[in-house]
Structure formats: structure tokens, C-alpha cells
């Protein structure tokens, strides 16, 4: 019900007067209602709760975080800080 | 951008841990509100990785766990009636009522069906006009838009055989209840990223100001959680108490307005009992007067229900962050995910279940 991971919209259609979409989670495809994300387009990522998409993930914001981390990592390397010695855990996309 | 592995990079995690180490000068207690975050914290061993001076307290953010026992017992009573199809999200099936759970109603021949979306429950009502279809509307602000849409759809289709037991709960009043409780230890919050995706975070600004606690809206991946903790710690160390948004890729300050409009159209704010905690004013949602016809508690007059909690279970204290699951004498002995005594051991998002699943047995 509540552990939402991002999924990609691969199809948009209508059912009983509601805007619906097919959402791909790395190969597993589920349907979701898109009424609360009226601007969403095929190819964008969303978070689904209880069968409803609740947001359009903002790629620009995600890239900003990502770039900041890349900078952090290269600054650390330049300063000679050892990295990557410890894995924080298995990446379990099903969790 | 896949939004997953990018947020699980162990190199970056180590950098955050170093920054935390450098930032922390005093002991601090930070509560993550959301059960999904509790689960991730246990899964990735985040409590063990962060500096010893930091303690993570686990909050009441598991809607399955806080659904009041009286409503669970009502659900069980309704689900056992002939001519009823009872529909629910899967995590409610094994939540213990006073005597049994929904799963045992199903085992005894009751028509109990797990749905993925509340719209599935509406479809079942359309397909079964000779049955009463009841949906158990549980959850925080994340499921409220979905459950509200189901009522709206049932009304649009003119269905007279669809109703809900509404057990929706709201996060901000629960934070206030925690902060005003005697002996409160919480000094900062990680707010739940998906609740804020729906509601925005303006509701948290007066709470941060009034109680002088930093609140950081946080996502669910390991790097989100580490960054959220770092932002809270930096505020605590600097004596600041603001609302910050770590989870900018999903959360905007005003949230998802169409979803909020639907919640307001169908539900109204009501007082709500929280299992293990007690009544919190203005902390729940019930149906608006215009939708009373869809209220299963009105439709099925059950009278007063006598509830009974197991005496040994300390889930109420666990839900408020006062105790850890390991403080419970029943934890891992008579209480396991297979034989749960309390809701916190049933749900994927329950703190006891997360501890049981990821704890080193030594």
C-alpha cells in the first residue's frame, strides 16, 4: 500500500471516464490512475500509492542532487579521502 | 535517470557519513515518521552506520498499525456477514482484532478480497449488484486521494451497494501529539516524503516554529535518508528549526492540489483514535455529510463493540518512539510476523516487523 518506488509511464488510456496509465517498474508493469497528475506524459516517472499516481518526478531536481553528489565524490577523491570501502546494503528494488 | 540506483551509491553514502561525523558534536534524537523510512533504515543498517551520538526514534507512520482496534473489529464483524464482499489492501488481512483477523474470516468462508486500488472495489460493486461491497479505507494522506476517488466514482455510477469503513489518519496532528506528550524526546523530524508529495509541507511550518524542531521532508532511498539526517543535524547544531525539503524531485511546497481538492470534497477532518496511542483531535478523516450513504459504519449498525488488546504487547509505546521493539518481552518469542500480537509486527511498515526482519539474531 505505502512503499512506493518510481515507475515509468509507458501507456496512457481511458477507463470508466478516468485517465489511466500503465506503469513499468523495471519490467513489472502495473496500471495506475493518472487523474492527479493531469500533465504527465509517456516516458516520465511517477510515484504510485494505492493505484494512483501522486507525482511527476522532476528530472531536473533529481539531476541536481546527482550532480552535487558527483562533485562531492570528486572533491573527496582530490582530497585523498578513500571511498567505496563499505556497501550500505543490497539495493533491493522490490523493497 | 532511473531514480533508484542513483540514490543508492555507496561512495556517496560514505561521504554523507563522514560529513555527519564532522557535524555532530552532541547527542541528538531524531524521529523518522514514516514506516517506509523505518524499513529502509533497518534494511540498510543506517542506525549502525551513523555516529553513535545520533539516535533514530521510529514514529507512528504505519497506517495499518495505528488503525483503531474498534474499526478492525467492525471490519471483521461486517466481513463475516452473508451477502457482503469485504475489500481491503493486503496489509490489513492479518492485523489482529480483539478475537481474530480478516484472514481468519476469509478462511471461515467469508468473501474477503485483497485489492490493489480502491477503484477495484468499486468495480467489484458494479459487477455484484446483489452484494454489499465494503472497502476498508485506511492510510495517511498518501492513500486518501485514491480512497476519496473511489467514493466519487461510486456516486457517479449511482452505486447503492458500495461503502467504506474510513480509518484515514493525518500526520501533522500526530507530530503535535508526540511533541506535547510528557517525556517527549524527539528533537528533530524526518517528515514522510510521500505524505508531503500529496499535502505539501506548509502545514509543518507552524509546528517547526511553535515547538522549535527542525523538520526535513525526506525521501526513501538510502542517500535520501542520510541527507535528511544530515540536514536535521546541521539545523540542530546551529540552533535552527525550519522546514527543509530534501525530497525535491517529488515534493513541492504546495503539494498535489488536485489530490488535495478531492480529499476535501469527499472527506472532512474528525477526531481519531490511534491504536496504542489514544485519541488525537483533528487527526483523522471521515466522510462529508453529502457522502454519509457510503459510510459502512452508518450502514451496518453494529452497536458498541467491546475491544480487547493483548496485555503483553507494547506497540503503543513503540509507535511513539518511547520504546524499541527489543524492549518487549514477547518480541521474537510469542510475537513474530507469523504469530503477531500487535499491528507493529504485522505490517511491512511496522517497526517490530522491520526489526525482526533485519536484526542480527546475535
In chain A, residues 12-71 whose CB comes closer than 8 Å to chain B:
16-18, 26, 30, 32-33, 35-38, 45, 47, 49-52, 54-55, 57-59, 61-66, 69
Give the span between the Cα atoms of B91 and B88, in whole angstroms.
8
Mean pLDDT computed over every residue of chain A: 84
Which of B6, B119, B125 is the mutation pick for testing A, counting most A CBs within 10 A? B119
Show the cell assigned to B197: 508529495
Query: Cβ–Cβ of A54/B4 closer than 8 Å?
Result: no
- What would the pLDDT profile of B276-310 be if each residue is shown by its tens digit? 889 999 999 999 999 999 999 999 988 878 899 88
> How far is B80 from B77, CA to CA, in rounded Å?
5
- pTM score, whole prediction: 0.93
Grid cell digits, residue B213? 524542531
- The dihedrals phi and psi of B189, each to the nearest 5 degrees, come to -120, 140
pLDDT score of A83: 59
Q: Which DSSP letter does residue A50 get?
A: T
Nearest to B6 among A30, A66, A89 (CB): A66
- Which residues, 6 or more positions from A94, have their beta carbon under 8 angstroms from its beta carbon? none
pLDDT, tens digit, 9 for 90 and up, residues B222-239: 999 999 999 999 999 999
Rounded-to-integer distance, Cα B247 and Cα B250, Å: 6
Task: Please provide the DSSP assignment of chain A as one string.
Answer: ------EEEEEEEEETTEEEEEEEETTEEEEEE-TT-TT--TT-EEEEETTEEEEE--HHHHHHHHHHHHHHHHHHHHTT----SS------TT-
Mutation pick from A2, A20, A25, A36 vs chain B, by most beta carbons of B within 10 Å, is A2
Tens-binned pLDDT, residue by residue, of chain B (362 aa):
788 888 988 889 999 999 999 999 999 999 999 999 999 999 999 999 999 999 999 999 999 999 999 999 999 999 999 999 999 999 999 999 999 999 999 999 999 999 999 999 999 999 999 999 999 999 999 999 999 999 999 999 999 999 999 999 999 999 999 999 998 999 999 999 999 999 999 999 999 999 999 999 999 999 999 999 999 999 999 999 999 999 999 999 999 999 999 999 999 999 999 998 899 999 999 999 999 999 999 999 888 788 998 889 999 899 989 999 999 999 999 999 999 999 899 888 899 999 999 986 65
Distance CA B80, CA B103 (A): 11
Q: Does A88 touch chain B (CB under 8 A)?
A: yes
Nearest beta carbon to residue B149 from set A35, A37, A89: A35
CB within 8 Å of chain A, chain B residues 129-168: 138-140, 142-143, 145-147, 149, 153, 156-157
Spatial contact of B286 and B267, defined as CB atoms under 8 Å apart: yes
B261 CA to centre of own chain = 21
Of the partner residues B7, B116, B197, the one whose CB lies closest to the CB of residue A54: B197
Question: What SS3 state is found at B239?
Answer: coil
What is the chain B residue with the closest CA to A83? B11
SS3 at position A81: coil
Give the Cβ contact number of residue B158 at 10 Å: 6
Amino acid at each position: 500500500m505505502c512503499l512506493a518506488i518510481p515507475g515509468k509511464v509507458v501507456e496512457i488510456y481511458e477507463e470508466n471516464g478516468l485517465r489511466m496509465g500503465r506503469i513499468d517498474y523495471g519490467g513489472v508493469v502495473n496500471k495506475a490512475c493518472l487523474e492527479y497528475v493531469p500533465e504527465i506524459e509517456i516516458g516520465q516517472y511517477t510515484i504510485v500509492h494505492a493505484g494512483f499516481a501522486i507525482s511527476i518526478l522532476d528530472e531536473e531536481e533529481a539531476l541536481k542532487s546527482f550532480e552535487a553528489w558527483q562533485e562531492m565524490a570528486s572533491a573527496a577523491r582530490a582530497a585523498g579521502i578513500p571511498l567505496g570501502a563499505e556497501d550500505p546494503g543490497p539495493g533491493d528494488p522490490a523493497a | 535517470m532511473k531514480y533508484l540506483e542513483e540514490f543508492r551509491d555507496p561512495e556517496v553514502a560514505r561521504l554523507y557519513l563522514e560529513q555527519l561525523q564532522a557535524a555532530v558534536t552532541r547527542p541528538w534524537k531524531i524521529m523518522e515518521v514514516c514506516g517506509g523510512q523505518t524499513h529502509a533504515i533497518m534494511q540498510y543498517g543506517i542506525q549502525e552506520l551513523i555516529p553513535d551520538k545520533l539516535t533514530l526514534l521510529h514514529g507512528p507512520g504505519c497506517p495499518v498499525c495505528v488503525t483503531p482496534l474498534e474499526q478492525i473489529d467492525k471490519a471483521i464483524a461486517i466481513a463475516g456477514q452473508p451477502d457482503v464482499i469485504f475489500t481491503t489492501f493486503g496489509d490489513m488481512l492479518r492485523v489482529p482484532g480483539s478475537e481474530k483477523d480478516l484472514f481468519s474470516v476469509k478462511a471461515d468462508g467469508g468473501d474477503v478480497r485483497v485489492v490493489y486500488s480502491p477503484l477495484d472495489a468499486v468495480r467489484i460493486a458494479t459487477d455484484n449488484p446483489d452484494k454489499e461491497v465494503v472497502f476498508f479505507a485506511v492510510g495517511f494522506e498518501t492513500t486518501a486521494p485514491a480512497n476519496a476517488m473511489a467514493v466519487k466514482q461510486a456516486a457517479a455510477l449511482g452505486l447503492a451497494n458500495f461503502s467504506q469503513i474510513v480509518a484515514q489518519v493525518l500526520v501533522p496532528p500526530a507530530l503535535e501529539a508526540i511533541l506535547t506528550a510528557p517525556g517527549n524526546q524527539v528533537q528533530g523530524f524526518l517528515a514522510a516524503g510521500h505524505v508531503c508529495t500529496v499535502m505539501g509541507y506548509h502545514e509543518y511550518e507552524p509546528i517547526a516554529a511553535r515547538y522549535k524542531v527542525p523538520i526535513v521532508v525526506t525521501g526513501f532511498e538510502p542517500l535520501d535518508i542520510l541527507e535528511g539526517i544530515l540536514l536535521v543535524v546541521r539545523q540542530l547544531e546551529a540552533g535552527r528549526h525550519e522546514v527543509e525539503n530534501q525530497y525535491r524531485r517529488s515534493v513541492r511546497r504546495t503539494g498535489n492540489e488536485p489530490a488535495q481538492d478531492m480529499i476535501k470534497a469527499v472527506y472532512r477532518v474528525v477526531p481519531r483514535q490511534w491504536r496504542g496511542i489514544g485519541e488525537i483531535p483533528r487527526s483523522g478523516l471521515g466522510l462529508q455529510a453529502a457522502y454519509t450513504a457510503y459510510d459502512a459504519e452508518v450502514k451496518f449498525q453494529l452497536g458498541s463493540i467491546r475491544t480487547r488488546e493483548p496485555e503483553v504487547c507494547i506497540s503503543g509505546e513503540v509507535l511513539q518512539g518511547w520504546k524499541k521493539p527489543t524492549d518487549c518481552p514477547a518480541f521474537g518469542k510469542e510475537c513474530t510476523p507469523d504469530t503477531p500480537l500487535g499491528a507493529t509486527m504485522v505490517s511491512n511498515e511496522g517497526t517490530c516487523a522491520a526489526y525482526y526482519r533485519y536484526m542480527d539474531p546475535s
